[in-house]
Amino acid sequence: MMLTVISPAKKLDYRSPVTATAHTQPALLKHSQELLEGLKKLSPQDVCRLMGLSDKLGALNYERFQEWSAPFNEGNARQAVLAFKGDVYQGLGADSMSEAELQWAQDHLRILSGLYGILRPLDLMQAYRLEMGTKFSTQRGSDLYAFWDGIITAELNDLLKGPDAVLLNLASNEYFKAIKQKNIHARIVTPIFMDYKTDKYKIISFFAKKARGLMSAFIINNKITCVDDIKAFNSSGYAFNEAMSEGDKWVFTRG
């Protein structure tokens, strides 16, 4: 079993036509509802301060918190992998995937989330913004890492069965910190994407995010379940760089 995890995105799309008909419900909605009980008590100004947002974005996300309600259906929510539209999701290109590819992704890809904890690609979600690093205090602690402490890890361990299980980390540091790595019952492999600029290789955030999405698409399109097979990844000019790789930190370079 190889399971890939990615981060969510701030940019959302709830307007374009939905290209998938299948949908599921998030597994951790009861925890999301608990978070929302507190978030709904915030004023627009509180939301601005909590997440460092402009008045306009603060008001938007205040309204999102107020309007959030279960049950989720196709009228008030959409599949997570089609709702997120940031750099990672530009690389992933889920809106051009077939139903069969999305169903395969459903079993092999997970999206980490500050509000939903963990999402399958076809899980319905309502619009939100709540980054994992947000210092929102609850009865469980002073931030979202404390709120989700152990819960996300347990969900992943339920999937990572067998002696050869691999968790492929294509998430940002902010989100992967929500996973208790020492408690994961699997090998953890982290691809790192670097571009050649000003006479050296470096991580350029925009390109690295898009590359995480491209690798996720490569895995889905080729139905990869053996982690060594990702070394063949060559999208957008990237190639595995064995000399720069160390242990389970696998470097892919371009330029």
pLDDT value at position 187? 98
Give the Cα separation of 214 and 218 in Å (integer): 6
Tally of structural domains, the chain: 1
Q: Are 12 and 60 in contact (CB under 8 A)?
A: no
pLDDT of residue 135: 97
Determine the residue type at 77. Answer: A
Average pLDDT score over residue span 110-130: 98
The amino acid occupying position 89 is: Y
Enter the DSSP assignment of 161: -
Rounded alpha-carbon distances, angstroms, from residue 204 to 84, 91, 178, 227 = 21, 15, 23, 24
Instruction: Using pLDDT thresholds of 50, 70 and 90, give the confidence band for residue 231.
Output: very high
Domain residue limits at 51? 2-254
> Which among 12, 62, 50 has a CA at the least distance from the CA of 144?
50
Contact 137, 39 (CB under 8 A): no
For 56-73, the pLDDT digits (tens) are 999 999 999 999 998 999
pLDDT tens digits for range 3-48: 999 999 999 999 999 989 999 999 999 999 999 999 999 999 999 9
Which residue, 69, 100, 99, 95, is CA-closest to 82?
95
Higher pLDDT residue, 106 or 163? Answer: 106
pTM of the model: 0.97
